[in-house]
Amino acid sequence: MITEILHKQTKHTYHWLNKIIEDIPENKWELTPEKIETNIVWQIGHLIVSINYHSIIVINGQPIEIYKDFPFQKYAELFTKAKAKDAIGKVSVSELKKFSELFQKKSLDTLNDLSDDELNNPLEPFVIKHPIAKTKQEAIEWNIQHTMWHCGQIGLFKGYLSNKQDYGLKI
């Protein structure tokens, strides 16, 4: 029951993420406004890394089958501690979209395979200690919150581009 709720919330969060970026022109993804100091390339790259970590690695371990095509080290370096402007020209928008879709799907599949009884289990060991969570449920909840946090940042960026605030809501 709880895993079903977390799955639904995660799916809804990914829907919002995809909806908010769908009409941002690809030629604007690297634009890094001085006052905002971020860009869509960095935001999506960062979310790929964080979705992988918060809802896959610490839940079930590293998905080796995905890593054969995913430059994990490159993404970790570009999209965790590096500044957004440092990601410009390093990855294509099509690559970001492909990996974003791949890790969102893997995240939801991981949740499908998780039982309610496993939610209070400790996180799978990894070289980087989770900054927030101690249990699998806490990590999944943090993934939802963190992704929505970045949806807000992307929304601000989108408002900057269009000079209006439109989050896809119907009034």
Alpha carbons 75 and 87: distance in angstroms, whole number: 9
Tell me the mean pLDDT in the region 64-78: 90
136 pLDDT above the threshold of 80: yes
131 pLDDT above the threshold of 60: yes
pTM: 0.92
Tell me the mean pLDDT in the region 147-157: 94
Alpha carbons 47 and 151: distance in angstroms, whole number: 10
Per-residue pLDDT, 161:
83
Of 6, 106, 87, 12, which Cα lies nearest the Cα of 42? 87
Per-residue pLDDT, 95:
96
Q: Which of 11-25, 34-48, 58-72 has the lowest mean pLDDT?
A: 58-72
Helix axes 93-112, 40-52, angle to 10 degrees: 30
Summarised one tens digit per residue, pLDDT across range 23-51 is 999 999 999 988 888 999 999 999 999 99
Summarised one tens digit per residue, pLDDT across range 103-125 is 999 999 999 999 999 999 999 99
Confidence of residue 96 (pLDDT cuts 50, 70, 90): very high
Alpha carbons 5 and 82: distance in angstroms, whole number: 34
